[in-house]
Structure 1
Amino acid sequence: MTTPLPGTAKQLSADGLRPDARPVWLVIGPALAASVGAFLLAVTVGPALTAIQRALGLPASAKLWIFVAYLLPAVLAVLAGTLVGRRWPTAVTLSAITLLVLGTLLTAFAPGSGSLLLGRAVTGFGAGLAWGTTAVLVAQMGARRVWVAPLVGGVVGLALCLGPVAGTLLAQTANWRLPFVLVVPVEMVALLATAVSGIVVLIRRASPPAQPPTAPSAMKPS
């Protein structure tokens, strides 16, 4: 009878990691999507919001609704992203980015208040899904979340700070729609990164796991 070597009792996942620790590169796409969501939340703060109101001929009360139309669906979607993204992070993130792209385009080319609020709501829901899934993935990084969490949080926080600055500058120098148009390529990069990482995970799962080494059996006396 053979005896397993010390340390081989712990089963490894198809990624070569413990089941409770996902690969770090899996969080790249979701973190980028979460950053875009934070940027789009803040881009309508300040003078940019006034520019939208004036360009579309909206009442003063529309400023509040433009912000709430984004934030409320985002808060509700965080819970869904946390629950569903725990098991299917790639599928949830791809859905989130699709909503981000659709909502961003609706907002960028909105002819009036109805389409604008719809675009903001769709974008907010996609952002909430990305935030929830990213938080779950960071929590599943195992011991590496000590440095992954601050890194992801810093990127999302930076995007949140850049939103008002970019919105104000572009609204005053060009057009309020420009920030939403320019962010679409970034969303496509997040979509590509998420899709590639998901394909890699599927390939690793399909590959047979490496067999742990076994101790040589004792020689039988002749």
Structure 2
Amino acid sequence: MTPSFPGTADHVSPHGPRPGVRPAWLLIGPALAASLGAFLLTLTVGPEWAAMQRDMGLPASAILWVFVAYLLPALLAVPIGALLGRRWPTAVGLPAIALMVPGSVLITLASGSGSLLLGRAVAGFGAGLAWGVTAVLVAQAGPRRVWAAPLVAGAVVLGLGLGPVAGALLARMLSWRWPFMLAVPFGAVVLLVMVVSGIIMLIRQASTPTQPPAAPSA
């Protein structure tokens, strides 16, 4: 028999919910956060970077540091997000958004290379947390990861592709700073989704009856 998610109608187990298997809907918030992290990663590609370079007087070689300032903290945060997210996915997802949004605001308000790189580092660390916890939740989705993994991967790839497009359009129409502000409303939505899903999980856990220990055999 194919195993199912705990708390769903098709889950039947005399010993309670299967350990280590989480409902697929818990992936929604972290997956959206992971796609936002991918969006912010590629946002400085193309005309967006050229506009940043002109406005702040940065050398052409600075684009490497702008990428490293984001990608290195992100790579360092991925194992942290995966390790802690295995047990506390919501508690890891919330700080991920809480870092990406202020980091993006800091980039928007940056007056020099120092504040620009700091904002990229803060947002990058949050993105790494989101990527780590999302990967763990996909692994914990049980048999539903067959379709959950492609959906999450598609959302991340979409974020990667939208970064340069949104950056190019808004940089030409307004300023290179405005695309980073997209993280604020999107992050607010993701934050709300994570809070609601976290509350639902707490209610479900509180309503799940604990199983009495088995009697010792003679």
Q: Shorter-chain-normalised TM-score: which range?
A: 0.7 to 0.9
The one-letter code of the counterpart of 2:153 is G
Aligned to 2:44: 44
Aligned to 2:214: none
Q: Matched residue of 1:22: which SS?
A: coil
Aligned to 2:106: 106
1:23 and 2:23 correspond: yes
The one-letter code of the counterpart of 1:85 is G
Bigger CA drift: 115-124 or 183-192? Answer: 183-192
State the Cα distance separating 1:210 from its structure 2 match: 8.8
State the Cα distance separating 1:50 from its structure 2 match: 1.4
- 5+ residue gaps in structure 1? 1-6, 212-222
Query: Identity over the aligned pairs, expressed in percent?
Result: 66
Deviations 1:41-91 (A, max 9, x none): 011011211111111111222111111100111111111111111111100
1:11 and 2:19 correspond: no
State the Cα distance separating 1:209 from its structure 2 match: 2.5
Following TM superposition, where does structure 1 have runs of at least 4 consecutive aligned residues deviating by more than 3 angstroms? 7-10
Q: Matched residue of 1:44: which SS?
A: coil
- Structure with larger Rg: 1
Aligned length: 201
- 5+ residue gaps in structure 2? 1-10, 212-218
The one-letter code of the counterpart of 1:31 is A
Deviations 1:167-186 (A, max 9, x none): 11111221001111122100
| Contact 2:100-2:183 within 8 A present in 1 as well | no
The one-letter code of the counterpart of 1:89 is P
When the two chains are superposed, the root-mean-square deviation of aligned CA atoms in Å is: 1.6
Q: Describe the shift of the 1:8–1:160 C-alpha distance in structure 2 as closer, same or farther (beyond 3 A).
A: closer
Aligned to 1:148: 148
Q: Distance in 1 between matches of 2:158 and 2:12?
A: 42
The one-letter code of the counterpart of 1:61 is S
Q: Distance in 2 between matches of 1:208 and 1:142?
A: 20
| Contact 1:50-1:63 within 8 A present in 2 as well | no
Q: Distance in 2 between matches of 1:11 and 1:65?
A: 53
TM normalised by structure 2 equals: 0.88
TM normalised by structure 1 equals: 0.86
